[in-house]
Amino acid sequence: MGEKKTNKPQPPLSGFGADDFEIVEKKEVFRGYFRMDHYRLRHKLHAGGWSREFTRELFERGNACAVLPYDPRRDTVVLIEQFRIGAYAANRHPWLLEVIAGIIEEGETPEQVAERETLEECGCKITDLAPISDYLASAGGTSECTTLFCGRVDSDQADGIHGCKDEDEDIRVVVLPFDEAYGLVKSGVIANAAAVVSIFWLALNRAEIRQKWT
């Protein structure tokens, strides 16, 4: 029997469920800092019947948490800038403006990661957290799910260059007025998913967040 499972209830868009696909085989093909799994599977088709058996490789790196630090009194956001090899390989500028992010380790909650990483990467202490979304980073090739927050901070604490030398991190803190950060998203300068989603979310909820947090 193949493996059949679903992690969370899904909306009944197509009517498909756990009995409408089959994992025929799953095997680990690489393990290093990350892991790669190989799947052989089949599933029902929208037009009726079943697909043939096909294969997919899945990149496994765990789940992540990301947080947009926001200072409601000064109406500023705290971003970080660092070199990203993926941006270079995509023919993009390799130094990206990003939000704070980290991998959720075993036994940690997303909230704990948000607080830890914000202190480590920009020197700010989070005093409130507002949930934004849980989203799949790239469901065609990885199971990674990112839990995204907006975190209340005092941006006067944000400064300097941070990062773990053992992991070759070189992280520069950038504090921007919200309107400027929003403009960078609209112009495409800020182009990574977590930053784009969280800044657009803040644009929609900014008045409410400022009222609540001040």
Q: How far is CA 88 from the centre of its chain?
A: 19
Q: Are 76 and 178 in contact (CB under 8 A)?
A: yes
Torsion-angle region of residue 75: left (phi > 0), alpha (psi -120 to 50) or beta? left
Q: Long-range contacts for 158-162 (Cβ within 8 Å, ≥24 apart)? A: 158/69, 158/78, 158/122, 158/123, 158/124, 159/123, 160/123, 162/80, 162/120, 162/121, 162/122, 162/123
167 is catalytic: yes
Assign 211 to helix, strand or coil: helix
* Active-site choice (22, 60, 81, 167): 167
63: helix, strand or coil: coil
Alpha-carbon span 71 to 110, nearest angstrom: 20
**Could you give the residue numbers annotated as active site?**
167
